[in-house]
Chain A
Amino acid sequence: MADRAIKLLVIGESGVGKSSLIRRFVENKFDENHDVTIGMDFKSKVMNVDGIDYKVALWDTAGAERFRSLTPSFYRKALGAILVYDITNRDSLVKLEAWLAELDSYSDNPNIAIIVVGNKIDQERVVDREEGRKFARKHRALFIETSAKCDQFVSDVFKDVVEKIVSSEYFNNGSGAGGLDIASNRDLEESASTCYC
């Protein structure tokens, strides 16, 4: 393999904290006043899984309606998708259905690894964890709750999804079937304990 590059998409409604998650993960910074993403942005980081370095390219998409027509063009060749919602905003979880539908019809990878992320656990919760879990189970995705602000479980998001990708048959032979399962959800649930600050 010439270049172990992994393309990940980060999608979700405006203001749920997509860019903040990436910023926390890549630069370990949090900035309340981060620019509202215009169109697309992109950051990369080298991750080590089982002793192998992978160059992970994180494609940050704008959540705002007006940029919607642009984002599907960047779904090509993505190996994983991080679907983010805001646990203080039920609507942002509901809208994930639409994002997922779009992902489904524009992604060229039938085995794309999906992780559902409930962000902002540092704030007062409106959406039950169970609701997020149900959504993830329904779509055979991984699930985790995070806080980009307090740096809780942010790196787990990226670690889990990348491990999922590199362990899949699809990644190794470039073909092959086999869907994703949510078997690992239980473990995730244990680890992602709520912690307010």
Chain B
Amino acid sequence: MAEEIDDSEFYRENFSADSDWEVFNAQLGEILQKWDVTAESDVGRSLKAEEIYTCKWKVAKETLNMLKNGIQVEHHQAILPDEELAKEEVKENTCLQRTNCHHDLIANGNSFGPPIRSSQDLHILARIYGLRRFIVLHPVNPQLNYMKSTSEFNFFLSAIAVVSAEVQSVVPIFVQIYDPKWNFYTGVALAPALRTNFRLIGLEKAPTECRFLMGLLTLFREKVPTSYPQAAMISVCTTYALDTMRIRMPMYVPFDHGLSSEDIVVDGEVSHLEVQQFCPLPHGYTPESCTEIYLVYTWPELSEHVAFDSEQRSDFVPSKAPLGKVYLSVEASSYLSCCLRDYQSVAGVTRSLESFVGRNFSGISSGAEAASNPLDRITENKLSTRRERSYELPSQAGLTKRLPGPMTESELSELLAYLFPDMHPEMALFPYSKKSFKDKFDPMRIKSAVPDSLVCRLSCLLANCHAHLGGVEGMAQVWAAFTRQLRLLWDNSLTVPGISAGFPDTRTCLLHQKLQMLNVCVERRVQREANSKRKSEGLVRKASSEEDEDEDEDDDDDEGEFFDCDDLTAGSGSPTKSVLSFKPEGRLRRLNDERLLEEPEEYLYIPETQDPVPKTEDQLQDDAEVMLKLGPGSGLTTQMMCTSLLSDMEAFKAANPRGAMEDFIRWYSPKDWEEVTDELGQVHHQLSVRMTTEGNTWQKVWEQAQAVPISRQKRLFDDTNEALKVLHYLETRKMHEIYNLTIVPLLHSAILKLIDILSNAKVEDLFSPQIEQLLADLCRLSRSHSDQLPPIKPFLDDFAELERRFYQFKCFERLSGCPKRSSLQQVKLQFEEILRNENCCTIVNRRLTAAGDGTLYDILIPKLEEDMADRLVSKDYIIRLDGDTKSTEKGLYLGPQFMRAIVTGEKLRLCGAFTESTAFV
């Protein structure tokens, strides 16, 4: 950079002659300044043991252009949870010459990470040097033939050194060299008057002496630039691999009689999963499932003079290790999780049901009214629909018409026998338990249905069919068969089994509400028909004395008792008068001993009223939307709400022909029958102001109301119409809509099945936090406010993780020799540590106990010592030397010296970080 300052203060600069190197340095310096790499940012507490392996990392990336090659600069920094606090404390202590880099190199808490790479991949440099913060440069494109020659390395290394000095960086900066797969780095870290050089190399076939501590120490001494009086400290870690453990838990697919089922021959030891309650979901683990087991022994810190380790003799054998751990790495996938995962794909299938099973699959349009669309049936004139309805089994043609699909008739009827046990008593194995449907409500408040209800059974069956019995086609076939059965039930006035009684409960899922609605319709219809039959019989008896009536005709005409009120009142000119002459009808019971106000001789009767109208949540939503559309304050909303008030008033008038509106209010809204004391101190009652206001709605409706007992009122709830609506709704769902209706009960049942498996293995307590989390997550999913189901993938991941953990437990249980050599209690206790502690569990800790503290140690040591040499995976040596200020004459800090050697068979990787003083250079 040519810089000149003119006498006339005319400032000019000329960069045109800058070399590539200078341009690169300028760019790099800018980035480093942005990341604030100076000593001021370099404060913080010391790392806790194994912290860098467990904490989260922040990675920032920038790309630089260098001779048309992209160079990526990455900034890695550990996010330490309570660092902010520490920063405050350390602020005053900045006179200390050590940087974080120095601390990290010397501290032995993060020497050895777990032998299994955890899911979040930690950068190898953090693993090797235990650094909390560093910067790496490497070519963007790893295929590029770049960073291969010494001149290129030097280009970058010198750039780093110069820029570091310029921006006063204390953060180590590395350049990745050669093939990225080799993980070779070279780097530098500066500190006031100190420079640490990092070098990483690897040897395919290392000299024998370099594979043991003694040879490595010699190497280390040669590399250390100045002489240190004190002894180097050694940390060693040896890793042994035990045989991979496989427990075969074969696939079980309910209702599958093919080869893929349980009876498939598997070699090796087989352990079947046991369940108490049948649930039509598959279980078992794929044959690839296995557990890799590593034993790791560590000597956290020794002086170089204490230990001996050469080819002939070594102190670093498992029996002498102060610290031993077992690591379990598990690869396991379960058929249950797979089945649930697969089912997700149905969410994207927008094909209609008809496109799978053909039109008119429901069997309604057989015979006379062929080709009529279900919608027509519903919108058809009610009377004609009734006439055609037959109470016999629907024509055989409709029912026996085979549903197209991958399943055979007999397979399908087995599934139907499971869903509707009462209709197929000869095949039914699983009747619905009677007591579980008595308004029992899930305490976890998942918007699903009662466990093992029809809804749950169907949902599981669909997922099972989707995964194993014919895919989407099989699923469509089952759904179509299901709706066909529902129609059969309705046509025979039978209730749907395995559904909670009562009105549609909006706390349950929509599918359950729909089926509840269907049952309400069936009940109303049966009741209505029984009533009308009783009445018509009574009529007939009366009539038969006068004239001979055909009884059959009365039976057929079961709608005869219901008239539209409009018809009735159309002719009557002045209803009030005529009403008075009517004899009371439709009385339910007396209201205490209250008497009519105007006729003190007569009691006040509560009339029989029409039952409230049941609605499913989608209908409620439609209602609410209508109200929203009508807008606030429009009289229409009130009118919508008045139908039931009118019906009640009419029934009241019929029951109390001489009743006044005051009487009605006394029963209906007692709050508005107010007690008042007049001037004379007399207590009497009167209607509240709001009820007596001229032209209020209540008065209007009262005037409008005729004396009509409910038996002659227009039904507020048309059960036939509503039932057909439900059937039509279910028959016209598209595949993704079927998925939406069933996913929550499916996931709910899957959790229950998993709980069943866990409790049968007596480990439910071990996993109860995870189970509770799953239930709570599902609760939230099922009650989501948006109309779209939120993504369920996170839930399924957690579910699969729990299943994987269970497999891990089974392996660990066998490893521990349970139940012969250890108790389940003990195994669980140790497994808790595995769950908590990144798949690892301590088997020996001589700092805490004199000898091995458990059976696991006793079991594993002999296994290992049989062929120790073969099982040794790697040895990891770290040699550290810290230049203490007190130990040198001038009180100078010499900085840390560090060397790590990883011996894997004949291979050797050497990683050095040697510090030199720059004070007198």
Q: Who on chain A is nearest to B617 by CB?
A: A76
- The minimal Cβ–Cβ distance linking B670 to chain A, given in whole angstroms, is 8
**Interface CB pairs A-B, < 8 A, 5:** A15-B688, A35-B638, A57-B628, A73-B506, A108-B506
A38 and B697 within 8 A (CB): yes
Is A106 an interface residue when CB atoms closer than 8 A count as contact? yes
CB contacts (< 8 Å) of B783 on chain A: these are 108-110
Is A38 a contact of B641 with CB atoms below 8 Å?
yes
Instruction: State the CA gap A74–B622 with chains docked (Å).
Output: 11
Say whether B847 faces chain A, with CB atoms less than 8 Å apart: no
CB of B624, distance to nearest CB on chain A (Å): 7
Of B199-207, B306-314, B362-370, B642-650, the one with at least 4 CB within 8 A of chain A: B642-650
Name the contact of A76 in the complex, choosing from B620, B691, B784 (C-beta under 8 A).
Answer: B620
> Bound state CA distance, A72 and B173, in angstroms?
65
Given contacts A15-B671, A66-B648, A106-B507, contact A39 B632 (CB under 8 A): no
Closest to B641 in A: A39
Within 8 A of A (CB), among B617-670: 617, 620-621, 623-624, 627-628, 632-633, 637-638, 640-642, 644-645, 648, 668-669
* Residues from chain B with Cβ under 8 Å of A174 in the complex: 784-786, 790
Total number of residue pairs linking A and B with CB closer than 8 Å: 100
A69→B644 CA distance, assembly (Å) = 12
A35–B698 contact, CB under 8 A? Answer: yes
User: Which residues of chain A from 28 to 82 have any CB-CB distance to chain B below 8 Å in the complex?
Assistant: 32-36, 38-44, 57, 63-66, 69-70, 72-77
Q: With the chains together, A73 CA to B612 CA distance in Å?
A: 12
CB distance from B693 to the nearest CB of A (A): 4
9 other contacts beyond A14-B669, A108-B783, with CB at 8 A cut-off?
A34-B690, A39-B640, A42-B632, A64-B671, A73-B617, A73-B620, A74-B620, A106-B507, A175-B784
Known: A64-B669, A70-B612. A38 touches B633 (CB 8 A): no
Smallest CB–CB gap between B592 and chain A, Å? 15
B447 within 8 Å of A (CB atoms): yes
Neighbour of A41 across the interface among B637, B671, B672, CB < 8 A:
B637
Query: A49 vs B669: C-alpha distance in the bound complex, in angstroms?
Result: 38
Q: Which residues of A (1-38) have their CB < 8 Å from a CB of B?
A: 13-15, 26, 32-36, 38
9 closest A-B pairs by beta carbon, nearest first, are A39-B641, A33-B693, A43-B632, A14-B671, A64-B669, A69-B612, A15-B671, A73-B620, A38-B641
Q: Does B804 contact A (CB under 8 A)?
A: no
- Within the complex, the shortest CB–CB distance from A149 to chain B, in Å, comes to 13
Report how far A75 CA is from B637 CA in the complex, Å: 17
Residues of A within 8 A of B355 (CB): none
Task: Determine if B393 is an interface residue (Cβ-Cβ < 8 Å).
Answer: no
Is B615 at the interface (CB under 8 A from chain A)?
A: yes
Q: Given A109-B783, A174-B785, A43 and B669 touching (CB < 8 A)?
A: no
Residues of A within 8 A of B119 (CB): none
| B67 interface contact, C-beta 8 A | no
Query: Are A42 and B628 in contact (CB-based, < 8 A)?
Result: yes
Q: Shortest distance in angstroms between B707's beta carbon and chain A's nearest beta carbon?
A: 19
Confirm or deny: A105 has a beta carbon within 8 angstroms of a beta carbon on chain B. yes
Q: Does B351 contact A (CB under 8 A)?
A: no
Task: Known contacts A70-B612, A73-B615; decide if A15 and B672 are in contact (CB<8 Å).
Answer: yes
Is B410 part of the binding interface, using a Cβ–Cβ cutoff of 8 Å?
A: no
Kindly list chain A residues whose C-beta atoms are within 8 Å of the C-beta of B641.
38-41
Q: Which residues of A sit under 8 angstroms from B507, Cβ to Cβ?
A: 105-106, 108
Q: Which residue numbers of A lie inside 8 Å of B, CB to CB?
A: 13-15, 26, 32-36, 38-44, 57, 63-66, 69-70, 72-77, 105-106, 108-110, 174-175
- Tell me the nearest residue of chain A to B700, going by C-beta: A35
Whether B617 pairs with A14 at a CB distance below 8 angstroms is no
Contact call B689/A74, Cβ cutoff below 8 A: no
**Interface status of B780 (Cβ within 8 A of chain A):** yes
Query: Do A35 and B506 touch across chains, with their CB atoms under 8 A apart?
Result: no
**Residues of the B chain whose Cβ atoms lie less than 8 Å from the Cβ of A14:** 669, 671-672
Contact of B691 among A36, A77, A106 (CB under 8 A): A36
Q: How far is the CB of B829 from chain A (nearest CB, A)?
A: 30
Residues in chain A near residue B633, CB distance under 8 A: 43
Residue from the set B441, B624, B644, B693 with the largest chain A CB neighbour count within 10 Å? B624
Q: Report if B396 contacts A (CB, 8 A).
A: no
In the bound complex, what is the Cα–Cα distance between A109 and B621 (angstroms)? 16
Q: Which B residue's beta carbon lies closest to that of A57?
A: B628
Q: How far is the CB of B798 from chain A (nearest CB, A)?
A: 15
**CB-CB < 8 A to A109: which residues of B?**
783, 785
B743 vs chain A, min Cβ distance (A): 17
Residue of A nearest to B643 (CB): A39
A44 and B632 contact, CB distance less than 8 A: yes
8 Å CB contact of A35 from B632, B644, B669, B690 = B690
Q: Are A36 and B624 in contact, with the CB atoms below 8 A?
A: no
B227 within 8 A of A: no
Contact B672 A35 (CB under 8 A): no
A141-B668 Cα distance, complex, nearest whole Å: 31
Q: Tell me the complex Cα distance, A5–B589, Å.
A: 46
Contact with A along B493-529 (1 / 0, CB 8 A): 0000000000000110000000000000000000000
Q: Assess the A38–B506 pair: CB atoms within 8 A.
A: no
Minimum CB–CB distance for B29 against chain A, Å:
41
On whether the beta carbons of B447 and A108 are closer than 8 Å, the reply is yes
A contact residues around B671 at 8 Å (CB): 13-15, 63-64
Q: Is B696 an interface residue, CB under 8 A from the partner?
A: yes
Interface centre among A44, A74, A76 (most CB of B within 10 A): A76
A1 to B634, CA, bound (A): 28
Contact A32–B669 (Cβ < 8 Å): no
- Nearest neighbor of B694 in chain A, beta-carbon distance: A33
* Beta-carbon contact of B617 and A38 below 8 Å: no
* A109 CA / B617 CA spacing, docked (Å): 15
Instruction: State whether A40 and B669 are in contact (beta carbons under 8 Å apart), knowing that A73-B615, A77-B785 are contacts in the complex.
Output: no
- Bound-complex Cα distance A118 to B617 (A): 32
B696 near A33 with CB under 8 A, answer yes
Query: Do B668 and A42 touch (CB < 8 A)?
Result: no
Compute how far the CA of A42 lies from the CA of B445 in the bound complex, rounded to whole angstroms.
28
By the criterion CB–CB under 8 Å, are B628 and A32 in contact?
no
Indicate if the CB atoms of A74 and B612 lie closer than 8 Å. Answer: no
User: Once the chains are docked, how many angstroms separate the CA of A44 from the CA of B627?
Assistant: 11
A56 to chain B, nearest CB (A): 11
User: Of B447, B640, B668, B689, which one neighbours A33 at CB under 8 angstroms?
Assistant: B689
- Contact check, A66 vs B785: say whether CB atoms are below 8 A apart: no
Expressed in whole angstroms, the Cα–Cα distance for A34 and B691 within the complex equals 9
In the bound complex, what is the Cα–Cα distance between A105 and B621 (angstroms)? 18
- What chain A residues lie within 8 Å of B690 (beta carbons)? 32-36
Q: How far is the CA of A30 from the CA of B215 in the complex (A)?
A: 96
Q: How far is A44 from B631 in the complex, measured between Cα atoms in Å?
A: 8
Inter-chain CA distance A70–B785, complex, in Å, is 21
Q: Are A32 and B672 in contact (CB under 8 A)?
A: no
Chain B residues whose CB sits within 8 angstroms of the CB of A69 once the complex forms: 612
- Residue in chain B with minimal CB distance to A68: B612
Q: Smallest Cβ distance from B717 to chain A, in angstroms?
A: 13
A36 and B689 form a contact (CB under 8 A): no
The chain B residue sitting closest to A66, CB to CB, is: B668
Residues of A within 8 Å of B617, CB to CB, are 73, 76
- B701 nearest CB neighbor, chain A only: A38
Q: Bound complex: CA of A44 vs CA of B624, how far in Å?
A: 13
Asked if A36 and B447 make an inter-chain contact with CB atoms under 8 angstroms apart, the answer reads no
Given contacts A35-B698, A106-B506, contact A76 B621 (CB under 8 A): yes
Q: How far is the CB of B791 from chain A (nearest CB, A)?
A: 11
Q: How far is the CB of B392 from chain A (nearest CB, A)?
A: 37
Which chain A positions have C-beta within 8 A of B780?
175
Q: In the complex, what distance in Å separates the CA atom of A77 from the CA atom of B787?
A: 11
Cα(A105)–Cα(B447), bound, Å: 12
Bound together, the chains give a CA A14 to CA B670 distance in angstroms of 9
In the complex the two chains form, is B785's CB within 8 Å of A41's CB?
no
Query: Distance in Å from the Cβ of B486 to the closest Cβ of chain A?
Result: 24
Please tell me if the beta carbons of B612 and A64 are within 8 angstroms of each other in the complex: no
Q: Which A residues are in CB contact (< 8 Å) with B672? A: 14-15, 36
* Contact call A72/B506, Cβ cutoff below 8 A: yes
Q: How far is the CB of B502 from chain A (nearest CB, A)?
A: 11
Nearest-Cβ distance from residue B793 to partner chain A, whole angstroms: 15
Q: Which residues of B have CB within 8 Å of A73? A: 506, 615, 617, 620, 623
